[in-house]
Structure 1
Amino acid sequence: MRISEILRRKGTGVITIAPNATVRELLRVLSAHNVGAVIVSPDGADMAGIVSERDIVRRLHRDGAAILDSPVSSIMTAAVHTCSPDDHVETLNATMTEHRIRHLPVLRDGRMVGIVSIGDVVKSQISELETEREHLVRYLHG
């Protein structure tokens, strides 16, 4: 299965936050959208980085509550791993496992066209297994 199929099922919406927004604002966005990461973008289209719950937790542990009023750009990951809609889910799974990341922006010609989470990958794998199971059952009872 390709990443484009996951995006077709889940949609292509990407939640973004401005680099100068505070971490406190970031927490509101994560909670309001029930997501674990957002893209840091100055204009909602270009990607400056990604920031996740893990980034917040690590900085809170290191620097304390003072980070809540810091800009998101101070805690974001600027070197973002990405994928293409044409990539295979297996490749994405390997990238996520190898780099211990849970969210990958999907880019086409350098522009964001979606974001895929480890949950999306797991859902797609379960869907493929269920489809395969149904085919096998039909074949056996054929």
Structure 2
Amino acid sequence: MRIHDVLKGKAIHEVLTISPDAGVRDLLGLLAEHNVGALVVSRDGGSLDGIVSERDVVRALHRDPGALDRTVADLMTSDVHTCDAHHTVDDLMAVMTEQRIRHVPVLADGRLVGVISIGDVVKNRIQELEFERDQLDSYVHQS
């Protein structure tokens, strides 16, 4: 299975982004409003400047309680692991596991086209296993 198959199966195709100049309080509001664990940081909604996650906020607050008054650029990860739509889900799972990351932006020709979360990967894997089970069940009960 390829990343583009997972992207097609997502209920929401919009990629949520936030400006690097936005405040951390605005970031928290968007994370809560959309019930997501990370946002892509982008000046124009299509390029990739970084990614910022709940973990980034927690680490920043642990170091500095005043981090709530800072900008997204102060907290974001700028060295972002990305993939393209033709990568396999298995390869992406390996990267997510090895790097301990939960969100990976998907790029096409350097432009942002989606984000794959660990939840998307798990949901996809469960669907594959259910399909295989149903096929085996059908085969066994063919008589």
After TM superposition, the score normalised by the length of structure 1 is 0.97
Report the equivalent of 2:56.
55
Alpha-carbon separation, structure 2, partners of 1:115 and 1:12 = 9
Any gaps of 5 or more consecutive residues in structure 2? none
Amino acid at match of 1:78: S
- Partner residue of 1:123? 123
Aligned residue number for residue 40 of structure 2 = 39
Aligned to 2:90: 90
Report % sequence identity. Answer: 57
- Structure 1 unpaired stretches of 5+: none
Task: Give the equivalent residue in structure 2 for 1:79.
Answer: 79
Which whole-Å CA distance do the structure 2 matches of 1:4 and 1:100 have between them? 22
In structure 1, what is the Cα distance between the partners aligned to 2:88 and 2:13?
17
How big is the shift at 1:46?
Answer: 0.9
Q: Which structure 1 residue ranges, 4+ long, deviate > 4 Å from structure 2?
A: none
CA apart distance, 1:113: 0.6
Residue type of the alignment partner of 2:20:
P
User: Which amino acid in the other structure matches residue 87 of structure 2?
Assistant: D
- 2:26 corresponds in structure 1 to 25
Across the aligned residues of Structure 1 and Structure 2, the Cα RMSD in angstroms comes to: 0.7
Paired residue secondary structure (2:21): coil
TM-score norm. by structure 2 comes to 0.97
Q: How many residues align?
A: 141
For 1:12 and 1:79, how far apart are their aligned partners in 2? 24
Give how far 1:13 is off: 1.3
Distance 1:83 1:139 in 2: 37
Measure how far apart 1:76 and its partner are.
0.1
